[in-house]
């Protein structure tokens, strides 16, 4: 069927964001303008969309922003360069991270060095010289031993001799790391320390799956009373999201996938399906991943798939983006874009309110069960 030229043009304009006509790049073109005007298509286009949604919608004052963090990002320096500035600007309200990212973050707070190198080194020689490699990052084996000693010594202290969730544990660790930074004059190098200063809860969905957990397990053999309660994390994280949706909106920025992705998204099924409280899913979903969706793994699962689980509000699917890109490429670009586009937000300091919000969720759950 032949359609009229006017009808075709109307349809084209309806599905078009804009005509592709980028400016010529110059040496002094600001990075945000490059993202806006040159990143037009394919995953560059998806990254531009993610930057815009993050800066213009997710960072509205009424939106609570959660970040999930997987992959070895802090050893590459992205804690210092990106995550700490975003926390300081009030652009991240709560975090779910692998324990490994927090363990390696601790190296920087303790003044330990990591080095850029290259892939393809002789790993047998590295082992003989007691050098650890994470792809093209290398560091002295003593970093691990020293960080292990730090955690064992710290966690033997009286303040740690109790049961707590991972957010409470990391907040307490952050207190000591912030003090260490202040003593050495190197403030701003640790995500854990910044999260303590700015009241940002950090959960670890698999607390035994890292060197921090391994050292806590060793202390348990000594008779330590330190005990991590992962079920407390489930209710506390759900309480953050439930309160966010009652007051405004909830957005998630997902770097990679795995357990942190599931944990940050399962807050909504916990509220709706398990606790039976009325809710509709996160409002904004931005994911940076290199995983494919067709293998059935969670790391590649799309926002559309997450919508079927109640994790994403179906009315908000236009405000979801999946960008198939390495997080080490995307995060610095998103950080610069957001810091250039918006002034700092008022701090939500959710860590300070965590007991109160959890208590409110418990009261609503009990009230529902009585009715």
Residues constituting the chain: 371
Q: Residue with structure tokens 């990075």?
A: 31
Distance, in Å, from the CA atom of 122 to the CA atom of 251, rounded to the nearest integer, reads 43
The per-residue DSSP string of 339-371 comes to HHHSPPPPP--HHHHHHHHHHHHHHHHHHHHH-
Furthest-apart CA pair in the chain: how many Å?
Answer: 81
Triad 272, 277, 278: Cα angle to 5°: 80
Does 311 participate in catalysis according to the annotation? Answer: yes
| Given 8, 162, 311, 370, the catalytic residue | 311
Distance, in Å, from the CA atom of 97 to the CA atom of 290, rounded to the nearest integer, reads 18
Q: In what order do the strands lie in the sheet with 284-289?
A: 202-203, 94-97, 63-69, 249-255, 284-289, 320-324
Buried b (16+ CB within 10 A) or exposed e, 281-312: bbbbbbbbbebebeeeeebbbebeebbeebbb
Catalytic residues: 311
């Amino acid at each position: 069927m032949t359609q009229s030229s006017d009808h075709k043009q109307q349809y084209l304009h309806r599905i078009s964001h804009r005509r592709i006509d980028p400016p010529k790049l110059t040496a002094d073109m600001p990075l945000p303008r490059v993202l806006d005007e040159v990143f037009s298509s394919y995953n560059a286009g998806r990254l531009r969309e993610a930057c815009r949604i993050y800066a213009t919608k997710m960072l509205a004052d009424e939106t609570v922003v959660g970040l999930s963090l997987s992959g070895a990002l802090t050893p590459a320096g992205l804690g210092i360069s990106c995550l700490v500035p975003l926390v300081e600007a009030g652009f991240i309200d709560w975090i779910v991270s692998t324990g490994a990212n927090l363990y390696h973050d601790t190296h920087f707070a303790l003044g330990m060095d990591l080095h850029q190198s290259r892939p393809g080194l002789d790993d047998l020689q590295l082992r003989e010289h007691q050098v650890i490699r994470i792809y093209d990052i290398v560091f002295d084996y003593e970093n691990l031993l020293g960080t292990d000693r730090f955690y064992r010594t710290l966690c033997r202290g009286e303040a740690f001799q109790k049961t707590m969730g991972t957010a409470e544990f990391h907040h307490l660790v952050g207190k000591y790391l912030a003090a260490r930074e202040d003593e050495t004059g190197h403030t701003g190098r640790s995500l854990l320390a910044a999260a303590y200063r700015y009241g940002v809860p950090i959960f670890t969905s698999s607390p035994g799956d890292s060197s921090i957990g391994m050292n806590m397990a060793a202390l348990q053999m000594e008779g330590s009373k330190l005990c991590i309660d992962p079920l407390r994390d489930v209710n506390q994280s759900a309480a953050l999201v439930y309160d966010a949706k009652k007051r405004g909106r909830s957005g998630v920025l997902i770097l990679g996938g795995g357990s942190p992705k599931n944990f940050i998204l399962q807050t909504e099924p916990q509220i709706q399906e398990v606790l039976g409280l009325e809710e509709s899913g996160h409002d904004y979903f931005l994911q940076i991943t290199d995983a494919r969706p067709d293998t059935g793994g969670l790391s590649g699962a799309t926002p559309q798939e997450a919508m079927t689980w109640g994790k994403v509000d179906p009315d908000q699917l236009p405000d979801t983006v999946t960008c198939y890109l390495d997080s080490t490429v995307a995060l610095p670009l998103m950080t610069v874009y957001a810091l250039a586009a918006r002034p700092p937000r008022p701090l939500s300091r959710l860590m300070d309110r965590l007991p109160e919000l959890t208590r409110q969720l418990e009261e609503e759950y009990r009230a529902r069960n009585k009715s």
